[in-house]
Amino acid sequence: MSTGEQAQIAPVAVASDLTISDLRGALAAGWRDFRAYPAFGLFFAAIYVSAGIFIYFALFVQGEVAWLVPAAAGFPLLAPFIAVGLYEVSRRREAGIAMSWRAVLGALRGRGDEQILSMGVILFVAFGFWLMVAHGIFAIFLAESGIGSESIALLATGAGLMMLLVGGVVGGLMALAFYAITVVSLPMLVDRNVDFITAIIVSLASVRSNKFVLLVWAIFIATALFVAMLPLFLGLLVVLPVLGHATWHLYRRLTGTPGEKHQPALEQELAGIAG
């Protein structure tokens, strides 16, 4: 994209006073959004659930049972992109704009500038990269058992437990990094005419300014998604939409609600990029 085609970079102020109470408020608001327009939430969650079930049974059919752990661990990386439509639902409900399937589905295209699609590509590449890393960790610790072993019991061996420990640490760090760049950037791309680099900068600034609270939110999201996946992914039909809508409200709390304490350094950072 040429310089003239880039979206204008506008200064964005980021709140630095997020609290645990804000997380509870966001969840309550997310639940209200889901109850107000459940069809949209169920639709997007069903796509995610169907993909999860497909991966689950595909691994069983191919005898790659041991790969269920890395696939399940990396699968939540794709959730933020699926939630883009949910952000649009919350945005329209908040602004009092009429709701329509065409408008909500159109949010996946962004504002015609492919910024959201670019973020989607990043997330899918991240998922693929995680599977490659998991493949390497599996090979290092369980090479003697064979990469294609059909028995998940090997995960209970000493080497298997060590693999889970190392894989969990590496996967957790990767997930945290991608959480930091997407927690605010994707709802921002739905809401504002900015490029995805600017949105990522704002997202990172939000996490930097509210480390503890947003870390708690990350742990809560990971735990909720994991528990929701246990009953054949079906719990995601409710959990994913509520978390998606809640994330929108956290984004609004961080960047859009008057009366907050903001971080002026971010405005200077963005102004430097614009210059």
Banded pLDDT at 193 (limits 50, 70, 90): confident
pLDDT tens, position by position, 166-177: 877 887 788 888
**For the chain, which residues make up each domain, given as ranges?**
3-274
* Residue 199: both structure tokens together: 């949105």
pLDDT number for residue 101: 92
> Residue range 235-255: average pLDDT?
93
Interatomic CA distance for residues 167 and 28, integer angstroms: 34
pLDDT > 90? residue 261: no
Q: Find out whether 135 and 147 touch, Cβ atoms under 8 Å.
A: yes
* Residue 33: both structure tokens together: 């959004």
pLDDT number for residue 166: 80
Chain centroid to CA 273: how far? 25
Chain centroid to CA 16: how far? 21
Interatomic CA distance for residues 260 and 34, integer angstroms: 26
pLDDT number for residue 75: 63
pLDDT tens, position by position, 10-66: 457 888 899 999 999 999 999 999 999 999 999 999 988 887 787 777 666 666 656
pLDDT number for residue 35: 96
pLDDT number for residue 63: 62
Q: Find out whether 70 and 138 touch, Cβ atoms under 8 Å.
A: yes
pLDDT tens, position by position, 138-165: 777 766 555 444 555 666 667 667 777 7
pLDDT number for residue 67: 65
pLDDT tens, position by position, 75-105: 666 777 788 899 999 999 999 999 999 989 8
pLDDT tens, position by position, 103-142: 898 887 766 667 787 777 887 787 778 778 877 877 777 6
For residue 223, CA distances in Å to 86, 236, 240 come to: 20, 12, 12
pLDDT > 50? residue 260: no
Chain centroid to CA 37: how far? 21
- What integer best gives the mean pLDDT of the chain? 78
